[in-house]
Amino acid sequence: MKRAMSILLVLIVLTFFAAPPTSAQLVVWWNKSFVPEQDEAFKEVVQKWEKKTGKKVDLSFFALPDHPAKMLAAFDSGIVPDVDFGQIVNVQTGNFALEDKLLEIADVINPIRDRFTAGALRATEYFNGKTGKRGVYAFPLMQHGVNIHYWLDMVENAGFKESDVPKQWKPFWDFWGEVQKRLRAKGEKVHGLGITYSTEATDTWQEFEHFMEAYRVRVMDDNGKLLVNDPKVRQGLITVLSDFTRHYKAKNVPPGAISWKDIDNNVNFNNRQVVMSMNPTLSIPGSFYKKNDDYYNNKIKTLRWPAAPDGGTFTLRVSVHAGFIPKDSKNKDLAKDFVWFILEPENLDLFVKASNGAFFPALKESYKDPFFVSADPHRAAVYKNFTENPTRPYEQVINRKFIQVQTENLYGRACGRVLADNWAADKAVDELIARMKQIVGD
C-alpha cells in the first residue's frame, strides 16, 4: 500500500511539473472570420511568430455574436486573454479603456504611427477614467465602409443596362423599386432593396448614418459634444428617417428587414431575393470569391455611392477594426511583441488580403498594393470610395458614451417606431433625441 501511494505521489509531482503553467503560453482570442481563408492566414502569422520567438500561442477563434459576451465574462472573472480582437467587441473598447481594463500600448504604436491612416490612429486612442487622460489602448488592423452591391443580370432582365443605374440620390434609390416592379411583372418574387431596419443589426445604424452624411446631418461635433439641440439637426434627422424608411413603406424591401440580424441581408442577397443591398465590408461578393467566378466577376457589381441630395460628394463612415491587450494579461511584454509582429506590413497585409477584399487596409502604404488598386471590380470600387471620398469614424470613437447609443440601436428603434408602430417621423426623432441626450448628455 505504501509503495502504491509513493508511486501515486511521484506521478502527481511529475504531472505537476511536466504541465507548463498557462502563463507560459500567449493566450490569444480572435474573431472568427466570415471568410475561412482569413482564419488560416492569421494562423500562418501566429506560426511565424512562434517560429521566430520559440514561444507558443494558445489561439481560440470566437464567432461574431459570441465573442462580446465571452470577453465581458473574462473581464468579470479576471481571467483574460493576453491579446484580443473581435469585430463586435470593438464597439466596447471605449468602455473597457474608461474602466481601466486595457493596457496602454503607446510604446508599441507611437514608433510606427506613420504607417497608419489618420482615421485608423483615431480609433486607437481612448479616455481612461482612472488616469483622467486619453491614451493608446488599441492596435489597428483593418477598416471597412458600407458598400453597395447589386445583381447585374437581374437588372438586365428588368430591361436596364449597367449604365442605366442613376448616379443622383433620389433617382438612384427609386431605380431599384422600378427594377422590382418590372421583375414582378415577369413573375419573379423579388424585392428591389435589401435595407436593414432592425434594432438587432449593427448594419442598421451604419446604413442610417450614411444617409445622415448624405443629408449633411451630424449629431456630434469633432470634440464629442452633441448637436441635437439645434432645430436644424432635428429637422435633418426627420428628413433622413423619412427617406430611409420610405422604401420599406413602398414595399420595395422584404418585410422581414425590420427584424434582420447582421447576416440576413447577406443571405437575402446571396439567395437572389433582393436585387441590391448595402453591406459593411465586401463579404457579399467575397463569399463567392474563387467559388463562383461568374457571380463574382460578372453578375455581382459593387457601386460607388451616389451623389448626395445636394449633388455633392459626401463623407463616408469608416469602421476601424482594432484589437487590444487586457491590463490583467499575464504576459504583457510577450503580448506587445506579438502585436508589434502582427503590425509588420508583410504580416498585416497577409491577414487583410485573406478576407478576399472584404476589408481595406489600415496601413497607408498598402493603399498602393495592386491587390486593392487592381482591376478587381469590387476592390476597385472600394478603393475609389476610400481615396476619393472624405472618410471619418463613427461617433463612439470620439465619445465613448455613444457606445450605448449604438448598443441600444436608437436609429433602428426610430425605424421600428415608424414602420411597426406607425409613429410620425418627427415623434420618433424626438424620442431618439431625448434618449441620446440621456445617454451622452447635452
Encoded amino acid at 2, one letter: K
Q: What is the pLDDT of residue 4?
A: 43
Give CA torsion, residues 420, 421, 425, 429, to 10 deg.
-100
What's the pLDDT score for residue 185?
98
H-run or E-run covering 32: none
**pLDDT at position 7:** 37
- What pLDDT is recorded for position 24? 57
Q: Any idea where the domains of the chain sit in the sequence?
A: 21-144+319-392, 146-317+394-440
pLDDT, position 377:
85
Count CB-CB contacts under 10 A for residue 105: 21
Per-residue exposure over 310-334, b if at least 16 CB sit within 10 Å of its own CB, e if not? eeeebbbbbbbbbbbbbbbbbbeeb
CATH architecture of the region 21-144+319-392: 3-Layer(aba) Sandwich (3.40)
Pairwise CA distance, residues 330 & 26, whole Å:
9
Q: What is the pLDDT of residue 286?
A: 84
Tell me how far CA of residue 310 lies from CA of 169, 214, 273, 307, in angstroms: 8, 8, 32, 8
What's the confidence (pLDDT) of residue 92? 84
CATH number of 146-317+394-440, picked from 3.40.190.10, 3.10.20.30, 3.40.50.2030, 3.40.50.300: 3.40.190.10
Q: What is the pLDDT along the chain (442 residues), one digit of tens a residue?
A: 444 434 333 333 333 333 333 445 899 999 999 788 999 999 999 999 999 999 999 999 998 778 888 999 999 999 999 999 987 777 789 889 999 999 999 999 999 999 998 888 988 999 899 999 999 999 999 999 999 999 999 999 999 999 999 999 999 999 999 999 999 999 999 999 999 999 999 999 999 999 999 999 999 998 899 999 999 999 999 999 999 999 999 999 999 999 999 999 999 999 999 999 999 888 899 889 888 899 999 999 999 999 999 999 999 999 999 999 999 999 999 999 999 999 999 999 999 999 877 889 999 999 888 888 877 889 888 888 888 888 888 998 888 899 899 999 999 999 999 999 999 999 999 999 999 999 998 6
Crossing angle of helices 36-53/345-353, nearest 10°?
Answer: 160
pTM over 0.85, yes/no: no
Q: For residue 20, what pLDDT is reported?
A: 35
**Fold: same for 21-144+319-392 and 146-317+394-440:** yes
259 C-beta neighbours (distance < 10 Å), count: 15
Buried b or exposed e, range 123-153, using 16+ CB within 10 angstroms:
bbbbbbeeeeeebbbbbbbbbbbbbbbbbbb
